[in-house]
Structure 1
Amino acid sequence: MRSSMLRVLACLSLFFFLVPVTYVRGPGPPANDSQYIALEPIVIDAKNPVRSRVGRLEFLGGWTMTSDNVAFGGISSMVALPDNRFLMLSDNGSLFGFTLDESKHLANRPFIAPLPDGPAKPNAFARQNWDSESFLHDPETGQFWVGYEHQHSIWRYGPSLARREAAHFPEVAKNWPENGGAEAMLHLPDSRFLVFSEAAEYLKGGYQALIFASDPAEPDSKAVSFGYQPPKGYNLTDAAILDEKTALMLHRRFTPFDGVSAILSIAQLKDFQPGKVATSVPIATLKPPFKVDNMEALAVTRDGDQIFVWIASDDNFSVLQESLLFKFRLLKGKSVRKNSGPGRKNEKAEASPGFSTFESD
């Protein structure tokens, strides 16, 4: 009986992971426009609270985020600003912001508001179709870019996020799966933009991604395609520039029997070339007994030589899931040899320039 119940719960969870939110949200509670966001501190491993190492990540803190505002949840991407200020986008077109006080576990100066404009269809459920999945910020101009799926497009907003400046519906993205659009974006040091589809298959392998030589939100911008191959069984959910040569790539997987897991990996920017298929090297895996949910948002910050990795989860507006925020320190790794047992050759993990791989715990 217990095993049957577990299978039922697993299938219910799978439904919330795989079906677009637009079709699974019910009438919900009465409208509540509270601007308060509460943080509850958590550990990465409840069975071993002192554990902090996850591959090349050192766990520094984690929080469950909640709010009475019915628009809160569904976090799909985020931007980290100076002074621990975070902006997070929901897949219902809502924008959340707060300044994180890590010592007091407070979300100071919070706000929850809809984006000022988006590609919604003119109907009663338009807001639910503003499925914002990727988010970029240019600290020099203050401008923001948002990637939408369902109605596949890239939009640029002004420094205050108060108005739309430009919008582009790339012709090459029109045939992408409805729920497999612009899941991640990167703004490269050479000024090019990359836009990654989560589920549009690339003929040469992996999933389709686009290279824009100029601003992808401008209607006359042109794109060329390449492929990105995630770790086997995983889908890309976000990406962030790490340095002038590399990017961090976040992936998730869910199966009824293994549950949810996430992989963080490092990709070489030089591998993102037209007509090629790029890959990445895993550096950490989040899976039970580690605390993990539908990890969809990724950001990188720095303090001197230290690099911090922030990961947040999309709860799909489901009572079975949570909105989590994790802070990790990225550790400098070293190549390690994996011995698979008697009679097996030692296999040396590949090392990427500047950041060597390290076996996950």
Structure 2
Amino acid sequence: MARHWLWAAALLITLTGGNATAEPRDVRVDTRPLILDYANPQRKRFGKLTWLGGLVLRSSAGPFGGYSGLAVSADGSELLAISDRTSWLKMRVEERGGQLIDVRDAVIGKLVLRDEWDNPEVGRGLNDAEGLAALEPGVLAGDYYIVFEGKHRIHRYEFDGTNFSAPVGALELPPAALRLPDNKALESLAILRDGPYEGAAIAFSERRAHISGDSLGWLFHEGRVEQIRLKRSRMFDITDAAALPDGGLVVLERNFAGIMRGVFMRIRRIDAADIKPGARLDGEVLYETEDGRMVDNMEAIAVHTDAEGRTILTVMSDDNYNPVQRTLLMRFAME
């Protein structure tokens, strides 16, 4: 229970430190198995998802933690995560019998931040990265859009497999997105993979931003920006989204229900046919945690397809750089 007290405190203070160098470096990441349901450790079915294992990650490297955006390789064997302090983590995932068992070959680096293309700046308000999306899904070495809070923006970066470039472009945000409060702004970003809006970027605000109480979102498609909404219910806030192969989305949400109840995770699926300008999206709940002690501050989700053709969800938590919170990595199959 004490962990929830400190988790709440972490949400109320501005965290500093965790200096990362621009040059990538190898780091050690220790792991232990994550049991999602202590009452039934052998449980495999969670809502409409199948459990493929999880890990609690720890590292003494200063920049480690705070992960809010995630991408995975086409086969799921490698992942790339971005943190609230704009450090990035790349590592290889080990599986046995289709179950997540360990990570290795971890590397941490630091993004180059710029306010304007000719004005390098690393001041307060520039470094709160909240999501990343590969322009070519499943290819870790390539171009990415990264979304930031504080000074709201979506910048384009190139990743060559070993390091990120300085930003090379940007998506122009509409005035309504620029007016969002600092800590309730754009929180998720995905590139649609099929359907009439294939290749479009879609981004959502974290909390209620519309008069209805819904989260606001925008479709960036063929030089146009169109508004879209996501229905907000039962105090869940969107923390990330990932594109599905069929053109739909999975949306990751969090509800911090108070010190006594803890934090809950929900995953919704949005059908491709529902995604269009002006739409109010809702979707099907694939899974919602039953107990506030099962997970932590889940903020990152990514999708790949395994050798059996199943859609695999990889989910990661942001520990707020708080020693009593956890960096969790877990996998589910959509079946």
Smaller-chain TM-score bracket: 0.7 to 0.9
Farther off after superposition, 45-54 or 321-330: 45-54
C-alpha contact 1:52 1:59 (8 A) present in aligned 2: yes
1:15 counterpart SS class: helix
Distance in 2 (CA, whole Å) between partners of 1:30 and 1:178 is: 23
Q: Report % sequence identity.
A: 25
**Equivalence for 1:131:** 128
Distance in 1 (CA, whole Å) between partners of 2:101 and 2:115 is: 36
The Cα offsets for residues 242-267 of structure 1, whole Å up to 9 and x where unpaired, read as 23242111110012232110111111
Farther off after superposition, 228-237 or 68-77: 228-237
Which of residues 229, 232, 239 is equivalent to 1:230? 232
Distance in 2 (CA, whole Å) between partners of 1:238 and 1:267 is: 13
**Equivalence for 1:311:** 315
**Equivalence for 1:24:** 14
Question: Which residue identity lines up with residue 229 of structure 1 in the other structure?
Answer: K
1:89 has 2:82 as partner: yes
1:109 has 2:105 as partner: yes
C-alpha contact 1:195 1:211 (8 A) present in aligned 2: yes
Q: CA deviation at 1:96?
A: 0.2
Question: Which residue identity lines up with residue 89 of structure 1 in the other structure?
Answer: I
**Equivalence for 2:295:** 292
**Equivalence for 2:205:** 197
Higher RCO (CA-CA < 8 Å; seq separation 6+): 2
Q: CA deviation at 1:127?
A: 7.0
Structure 2 gaps of 5+ residues are: none
Distance in 1 (CA, whole Å) between partners of 2:18 and 2:104 is: 27
C-alpha contact 2:241 2:252 (8 A) present in aligned 1: yes
1:52 has 2:49 as partner: no
**Equivalence for 1:342:** none
RMSD of aligned alpha carbons? 2.8
TM-score by length of 2: 0.84
1:13 counterpart SS class: helix
1:232 counterpart SS class: coil
Residues 177 and 289 of structure 1: CA distance in aligned 2, closer, same or farther (over 3 Å): closer
**Equivalence for 1:14:** 8
Residues 249 and 27 of structure 1: CA distance in aligned 2, closer, same or farther (over 3 Å): closer
**Equivalence for 2:219:** 211
Farther off after superposition, 160-169 or 36-45: 160-169
Question: Which residue identity lines up with residue 302 of structure 1 in the other structure?
Answer: T
Q: CA deviation at 1:200?
A: 5.1
1:40 has 2:32 as partner: yes
C-alpha contact 2:34 2:53 (8 A) present in aligned 1: yes
Q: CA deviation at 1:280?
A: 1.7
Distance in 2 (CA, whole Å) between partners of 1:242 and 1:105 is: 25
Distance in 2 (CA, whole Å) between partners of 1:30 and 1:184 is: 24
2:184 counterpart SS class: coil
C-alpha contact 1:118 1:130 (8 A) present in aligned 2: no
Residues 254 and 205 of structure 1: CA distance in aligned 2, closer, same or farther (over 3 Å): closer
Residues 252 and 118 of structure 1: CA distance in aligned 2, closer, same or farther (over 3 Å): farther
Distance in 1 (CA, whole Å) between partners of 2:300 and 2:184 is: 16
Q: CA deviation at 1:67?
A: 1.2
Residues 306 and 171 of structure 1: CA distance in aligned 2, closer, same or farther (over 3 Å): closer
TM-score by length of 1: 0.78
2:61 counterpart SS class: coil
The Cα offsets for residues 172-200 of structure 1, whole Å up to 9 and x where unpaired, read as 22111101222111212222211111125
Distance in 1 (CA, whole Å) between partners of 2:156 and 2:36 is: 36
Q: CA deviation at 1:168?
A: 4.0
Distance in 2 (CA, whole Å) between partners of 1:122 and 1:224 is: 31
C-alpha contact 2:70 2:79 (8 A) present in aligned 1: yes
Residues 75 and 36 of structure 1: CA distance in aligned 2, closer, same or farther (over 3 Å): same
Aligned length: 313
Question: Which residue identity lines up with residue 239 of structure 2 in the other structure?
Answer: T
**Equivalence for 1:281:** 284
Question: Which residue identity lines up with residue 202 of structure 1 in the other structure?
Answer: H
Residues 143 and 51 of structure 1: CA distance in aligned 2, closer, same or farther (over 3 Å): same
1:183 has 2:210 as partner: no
C-alpha contact 2:125 2:151 (8 A) present in aligned 1: no
Residues 129 and 330 of structure 1: CA distance in aligned 2, closer, same or farther (over 3 Å): same
**Equivalence for 2:54:** 62
Structure 1 gaps of 5+ residues are: 1-5, 215-220, 332-361
Q: CA deviation at 1:75?
A: 0.7
**Equivalence for 1:71:** 63
Q: CA deviation at 1:159?
A: 3.7
Say which one has the larger Rg.
Answer: 1
2:183 counterpart SS class: coil
Q: CA deviation at 1:205?
A: 4.5
C-alpha contact 2:69 2:130 (8 A) present in aligned 1: yes
Distance in 2 (CA, whole Å) between partners of 1:115 and 1:313 is: 20
Which of residues 261, 264, 271 is equivalent to 1:261? 264
Q: CA deviation at 1:118?
A: 4.4
